[in-house]
Amino acid sequence: MERTLIILKPDAVQRGLVGQIVSRFEQKGIQIAGAKFMKISQQTAETHYGPHKGKPFYEGLVKFMTSSPVLVLALEGKDVITISRNMMGATFGSKAAPGTIRGDFGVSNSFNLIHGSDSPEAAEKELKLFFKPDELLEWKPAVGVWVYDYAKGAPE
């Protein structure tokens, strides 16, 4: 099983979309391993978006991400990074396909509702930035056997 970081950004929180977005992940069969409602500090935002420092959108992005509370999630599941990113849709709401989170709820090219780790390496780094080890839970949801086929001993 793989883990990823998801951030429901200030626009998702302010628009009251948190429940609908979290429900989509749960309905897909993705497990929540950690959740934190928080206001991201300037330092954390600068660290998280550090790879974009110097780009024209960097300062605006940091300001946006520190402007209002967010919901930070650690999600777990087989291929959860790829699945989550597919569920999120294209970066810009105006270009995201219907049926995706951004396609259904977003139109802005600046406010795009959600962040998701783009690789296992990024997920590991990002999860450590937002969660202490004891804030991530190891648990087995009862529906797991109905989400994955375990006939061969491992989830398929």
Catalytic residue among 45, 115, 116, 127: 115
115 is catalytic: yes
Q: Quick one: CA torsion of 27, 87, 17, 10, rounded to 10 degrees?
A: 140
In this structure, what token pair is assigned to residue 128? 């450590």
Strands laid side by side in the 31-38 sheet: 31-38, 70-77, 2-8, 114-116
Catalytic residues: 115
